[in-house]
Amino acid sequence: MDQDYSKLTRQAIEARQASYAPYSNFKVGAALLAKDGTIFTGCNVENASYGLCICAERAAICKAVSEGQREFEAIAVSAVPLATPCGACRQFIVEFGKDITVISVNAENPDETRTWKSSELIPENFEL
């Protein structure tokens, strides 16, 4: 990583602990860094009706937007094993910028990370 996002990845790992995943047992945490330095966290929340589930990334972004933030620098996503954001989350992230740094971190081995720019994860994103 060009910049040290260790605090962000730690907060994503911590956010994962609040995950509500009784159906898949796939717990995910996210930490979103706003351009002003504020960090917003989120976790995945499952529902018996799978279509109503919300991913950690979208939970963090919705929390930030509801607090008035619109400009983001980076988002860290923690899971076991290391996982990338789903397609819906990729589109959701790129809505707020094509140069947002996306970091995936293995919650059980924080040294295992992968990093991309949001535009690399969804190069042909939907635009209206």
Residue type, 82: L
Residue whose structure tokens are 């919300």: 54
The two beta strands, 39-43 and 101-106, are unpaired
Choice among 57, 67, 95, 127 that is catalytic: 57
| Residue 67 annotated among the catalytic residues of the structure | no
Residue 50 buriedness (CB in 10 A; 0-12 / 13-18 / 19+): exposed
Distance CA 24, CA 8 (A): 25
The set of catalytic residues is 57
